[in-house]
Structures are given as C-alpha cells and as structure tokens.
Amino acid sequence: MRRLLLAAACTFAFTASAEAQRTRLTVYTAFENDQLPVFKQAAERAVPGIEVVWVRDSTGIVTTRLLAEKDNPRADVIWGLSAFSLIRLEAENMLEPYTPKEAEALRPQFRSERNPMTWVGLDAFVAAVCFNTVVAQQRNLPKPATWTDLLNPAYRGLIAMPNPASSGTGLLTVAGWLGTKGEAPAWEFMTRLHDNIAVYTHSGSAPCNNAARGEYAIGITFDMRAVALRNQGAPIDIVVPADGVGFDLEAAAIHRGTRHLEAAKRLMDFAISKEAMELYGRYYALLGRADVQPTVQNYPPEFSQRLADVDFASVAANRDRILAEWARRFDGKSAPRN
C-alpha cells in the first residue's frame, strides 16, 4: 500500500516537473570522494535519462547500512564496493541477477560464479606497504621488499597494520598471506610479525596515514591510499611485496527490489564498458577488462605479477573462522607496546 502511494506520489512529481523525468538512481558506493563527480558525469552522459545520486562512506559503513536496510532497501545500485561485501549480500539474497553487456570481456576472477551474474568486478586494489623514508633515514632502517623482510627485528614497534576484524584491508592482507604461504606457515608468519607491530588500527587507511605523518615507519595498507598520500607530498615509498599480495575487487551489482530495474541495468552495462574502465584506469592499476590499459601514475609497475591466489568465495565463507583464530592469537594481548 505504501509503495503504491509512493509510486503515485512519484508519478505526480514526475509529471509536475520536467527536470524530474530523469530517473534518480540511488547508488551506494565506497569509491574515493574525488572519483565521484568524474564517474557520475560519465555515467549520466553515457546513459541518458538517469541521475546518479551517491551515498558514499567507507566500505564497512556502507555494507552495514545495506544489510540494516535489507527489509526496505533504499539503494538501487551498488557501484564500487568490495567483492567480499557483495558476496555477503549475495548470500542474503539481496542482489538482482543480471549479466551486463560485454561481461565476457572481464577477466575470469572479476565475475561472480552465478549465471546470470549477481556482481561484476571493476578494478582491484592490493595490499601494499607504506615506508616512510624520513623515519627510515633517522633510524637507519633498510627498505623492505617482501613480507618476510618485515620480520626484521630492526622494525620492532614501528609497524602499523589494520585489524582484520574491523577493516576490509586487514582481511584482504591476511587472506593474501593465507593464499600464498598456506595456512600453517601464514599463522606462524603473523605470530612473528606480531612482535614488530606497534598498533592494529581500526581502518585500512590509518596505517598509511600514520606512516605518512611519520608516527610509524611502516604502514600496511592498500595501494590507492598509499598512492594518494604520496601524491599529496608524503615522504613515503610504496612497496608491493614480491612474495605475493592479497587483493580485493571493487565490484558493482543491482540491488534486488529496485524500482528502476531498466535504468539500473543500463548503469551496470556502463560500469564495465571500455569508457568506464578507462576512467577507473586513472586511479587503479589493475582493471576488470584486460583490453584497457591503466594510466595511473606512481604505481609500482611490477605488481600485477605478484597477486596472491585469493579465492573470494572461500575467504568469505571462512571469514568467521579466520577472524576467530586471529582474535585468539593476537587480540588478547593487544595492549600498546613500544
């Protein structure tokens, strides 16, 4: 009944104003703030008759909102959110299946396993290390090249890392270690790394922000943040460890129950089009389509060979177990140390 009334009110509003004839698509996203106007403008040009209205926040908050709003959804489209989050929404049956045009051009890892697809990958961000060169000089620290290098006792108390229980970046980092090293050696590695960790932060950005300000010498983070801070003038080197890095996809999907299904489908078509990929390529170094070359500056070029073999579905399914194990080993003694 309320829906009907609402629809009636909308129809009225549409006829009342010519401007309102554009379909307003509410798009939930975790894209960076500076990317939003660029993507919005391109989408509205490519899909006539739509208006993109962003609801933007960090990955955790957007995912929490989506799940809390499940029974009465407000989002039409999710565009630019972690694949881990979308797999979670898929499990709750919140995604509308739709295989966008040209989906066959996507790399195999960038597609949902279902047919029709429930989500599509757009670009990837990888775990990376921010290394403060000024602090390094003061303390005479060597620059790490691999994850194993971080076990060097010289780094004791100088590394910040996101807590995987509260940060998606933390989770993808741990998932990368589990994927490349194997389960038991990965836990052994983390136990030794724990001795060097100064702080487990709540967000994935904080470690690199801290490293950029010289609070800690090393921050474990994701590549986007590191590049952005470096471009702001922070004295950091970006290290993509050579022994394999975990990564996460930014993905897009249609929210089940949208009242603008047709418009949402057109937006999804655009989201994996060549044109959109070229825009993502300004910010991300690994794109969903192999036929588009990224143009982003300051990325370590060699990283795409270093991607860990991450099985998203399996990490998502084992997430609770991984976090419980992590908490058992490292949370109990999380008082600050120097």
Residues that bind another protein (CB under 8 A): 2, 32-34, 36-37, 53-58, 60-61, 63-65, 67-69, 71-72, 74, 88, 134, 163, 165-167, 198-200, 202-203, 205-206, 208-209, 212-216, 225, 228-229, 232-235, 319, 323, 327-328, 331-332, 334-336, 338
Whichever of 293 and 298 has its CB closer to another protein, that residue is 298
The nearest distance, CB 276 to another protein, in angstroms, is 19
The nearest distance, CB 101 to another protein, in angstroms, is 28
In 3D space, the residue among 265, 260, 234, 288 whose CA is nearest the CA of residue 80 turns out to be: 288
Whichever of 5 and 104 has its CB closer to another protein, that residue is 5
Helix H or strand E encompassing 118: none
50: tokens are 């739509």
The nearest distance, CB 208 to another protein, in angstroms, is 7
Pairwise CA distance, residues 251 & 120, whole Å? 5
In the numeric block, the tokens 């003694």 are attached to: 333
Pairing of strands 23-29, 77-82: parallel
Whichever of 133 and 148 has its CB closer to another protein, that residue is 133
Mapping DSSP to helix (H, G, I), strand (E, B) and coil, where does residue 38 land? Answer: helix
In 3D space, the residue among 204, 99, 218 whose CA is nearest the CA of residue 151 turns out to be: 218
Whichever of 22 and 88 has its CB closer to another protein, that residue is 88
Residue 138 vs residues 27, 134, 141, 214, 280: alpha-carbon distances, Å: 46, 6, 8, 11, 37
Whichever of 8 and 67 has its CB closer to another protein, that residue is 67
The nearest distance, CB 291 to another protein, in angstroms, is 30
Contact by Cβ (8 Å): 174, 168: no
The nearest distance, CB 152 to another protein, in angstroms, is 19
